[in-house]
Amino acid sequence: METQDIWNSFNDELYFFILKRVRDKDVSNDIFQTTFLKIHNNLSKLKQDEKVKAWIFQIARNEIANYYSAEAIYADNSDPNQDIPVPEYQFICCFDKLINDLPDIYREVIEMVYVKGHKQKEVAQELGISLENTKARVRRAKDILKKRFRECCKYELDKQGKLTGESNCSIC
């Protein structure tokens, strides 16, 4: 197996795997790039092609651990009297709640595509529906989620239709 084959097969799934764990696009991009560099440099050490997925995800887990270790060392060297800002992930509880409140046909597709990182084509095959139907379900689910985020958390929509602003959630 070559690096290009691994890229074609796993790049989206691997990127979302990393993004889900570090929750920062810039850091995710750095870890993703380092991971693929290590995959490329060490591909000759892979003895069984059928274990490639486990191998690349282990490399990614190691890179994520390296990132957090480096961050911990950096944080330990800081001034102990200085308050370290803790990122607010208040939106997480609403996100999970809103995902779980979706009708089953939409929830299932959203979880497979965005939580588990599967490609829409794979989801279509696994669910036994057309790719167009899968895309339509994702689009409808996103519309429902946007509406509910606006109602629950008081987010606004920008000109591109993306959620913006700060959460002013009545539930959290």
Instruction: Report which of residues 96 and 23 the model is more confident about.
Output: 23
For range 59-79, the mean pLDDT: 76
Q: Would you call 42 helix, strand, or coil by DSSP?
A: helix
Considering the chain, what is the average pLDDT of its residues? 81
Which architecture, in CATH terms, is 91-164?
Orthogonal Bundle (1.10)
pLDDT at 172: 55
Instruction: Report which of residues 156 and 105 the model is more confident about.
Output: 105
Residue 71 CB coordination number (10 Å): 12
Has residue 94 got a pLDDT over 60?
A: yes
Q: Where in the chain is the domain with CATH 1.10.10.10?
A: 91-164
Comparing 16-20, 89-93, 112-116, 127-131, the range with the smallest average pLDDT is 89-93
Q: Which amino acid is at 75?
A: A
* H/E element, 33: helix 25-42
Q: Where in the chain is the domain with CATH 1.10.1740?
A: 3-76
Q: pTM (2 decimals)?
A: 0.45
For range 135-145, the mean pLDDT: 91
Place of tokens 């274990």: 51
Number of residues that make up the chain: 172
For range 130-135, the mean pLDDT: 94
Report the distance separating Cα 45 and Cα 13, nearest Å. 22
Which architecture, in CATH terms, is 3-76?
Orthogonal Bundle (1.10)
Beta bridge partners of 164: 156
Portion of the chain with pLDDT greater than 70, in percent = 77
Residues 20-37 have pLDDT tens digits of: 999 889 999 999 999 999
Instruction: Report which of residues 103 and 69 the model is more confident about.
Output: 103
